[in-house]
Amino acid sequence: MWIKRLTTFITTAYANPTTKTILLTLYYLAIIAGLIIMYGKGDFSTPKFIYQGF
């Protein structure tokens, strides 16, 4: 039921150009946020080694 209401709301809102742009911006920002969460963590580790002098 709530999905139907949400779909109706989005379809109605999408018809308005300003709201459409806002929704699209939020959509793109969500994608960017997802990418940052998935791939944003840097890897600063270095391989372990046994120091045996020179």
Q: Which residues bind other proteins (CB under 8 A)?
A: 17-18, 20-21, 24-25, 27-29, 32, 40-42, 44-49, 51, 53-54
User: Closer to other proteins at the Cβ: 8 or 16?
Assistant: 16
Q: How far is the CB of 5 from other proteins (least distance, A)?
A: 24
Q: Which two tokens stand for residue 37?
A: 């969460």
Q: Which two tokens stand for residue 32?
A: 């960017």
User: Closer to other proteins at the Cβ: 2 or 39?
Assistant: 39
Distances (CA, A) of 5 to 18, 32, 49, 52: 21, 27, 60, 69
